[in-house]
Amino acid sequence: MHAFPAERTAIITGAASRRGIGRAAAHRLARDGWSVGMLDIDGPAVKDLAEELTRTYGVQAVGAGVDVGDADAVRPAVDDLAGALPPVVALANIAGVSSPTPYLELDDAEWERVLRVNLHGVHHVTQAVVPAMIRAGVGRVVCVSSVSAQRGGGTYSRTPYSVSKAGVIGLARALARELGRHGITANAIAPGPIDTDIMGGKLSDERKAELVAELVVDRVGTPDDIAAAISFLVGQESGYITGQTLNVDGGLYMH
């Protein structure tokens, strides 16, 4: 088992939204003792979050405003975070956008917008972060996909979202194969219905009941459910798990 540095950093994308998975993950990993570097398109909000994490948990935290879909902007932002924090050991690719547009109404701009953030953004950030993991001698990459990738939608978002999230699963598996020799694992998480704004805003009780009817548990998921899975997969003891997709979906999708 590759040993983690005593002081280590997790980089998280898409952390600023107050009701999002990224913010929950940032709090969870900071609570677990990780230093945290965060990238989000909302620069002021993610910098405020960094101050909140330091104040609450006593860890080092830095936030940077960047569009993960902009390859030219991502690398210097990642370099700045890596230079300001302890060795980078973990990456949680969480930033994403939704897309409820029906397929026959879909235009090229919407297709490209979704893939640019949800798939290209994961690639840009991962490629920028992995060299720091190689320097550390160990690494954990976790990419948030969606049950929509496996079921072809069926929750809120439609075709380009499902395609982009299916690509994330393929990317995680390819990363696992290529990066394993460096002590780096790569896995995907496929959330089911989670009560976040990416589901189209705060879910009504009626909509929650509709979603729960398809599940084998009696509730819609929360961002904390996904943050717990991220915490597990970036942990030192998860070093023999790689190339996998962990469904955290209340039983919505079963093989």
**How is 87-103 classified by DSSP, letter by letter?**
-EEEEEE---------G
Report which of 3, 58, 61 is spatially closest to residue 235, judged by C-alpha positions. 3
| Distance from C-alpha of 255 to C-alpha of 199, rounded to nearest angstrom | 24
Q: Count the Cβ atoms, other than its own, within 10 Å of residue 225.
A: 19
* CB-CB contact of 49 with 24 (8 Å): no
Query: Is 93 part of a structural domain of the chain?
Result: yes
Q: What is the pTM of this model?
A: 0.94
Burial class (CB in 10 A: 0-12, 13-18, 19+), 171: buried
Q: Where are the alpha helices (DSSP H) in 104-253?
A: 108-115, 121-136, 147-151, 159-179, 205-212, 223-233
Query: Is 3 part of a structural domain of the chain?
Result: no
Report which of 187, 189, 161 is spatially closest to residue 249, judged by C-alpha positions. 189
Query: Is 153 part of a structural domain of the chain?
Result: yes
Q: Is 103 a catalytic residue?
A: no
Query: Is 2 part of a structural domain of the chain?
Result: no
Query: Is 253 part of a structural domain of the chain?
Result: no
Query: Is 185 part of a structural domain of the chain?
Result: yes
CATH number at residue 237: 3.40.50.720
- Each residue's pLDDT tens digit, 84-138: 999 999 999 999 999 999 999 999 999 999 999 999 999 999 999 999 999 999 9
pLDDT of residue 211: 75
pLDDT band at 210 (very low <50, low <70, confident <90, very high): confident
Among 57, 103, 156, 161, the active-site one is: 161
Q: Residue 50 belongs to what domain range?
A: 9-248
Query: Is 4 part of a structural domain of the chain?
Result: no
Report which of 195, 175, 196 is spatially closest to residue 186, judged by C-alpha positions. 175
Query: Is 254 part of a structural domain of the chain?
Result: no
Split into its structural domains, the chain has a count of 1
| Distance from C-alpha of 150 to C-alpha of 57, rounded to nearest angstrom | 37
Q: Is the pLDDT of residue 156 over 90?
A: no
| Distance from C-alpha of 63 to C-alpha of 22, rounded to nearest angstrom | 12
- Each residue's pLDDT tens digit, 5-61: 999 999 999 999 998 999 999 999 999 999 999 999 999 999 999 999 999 999 999
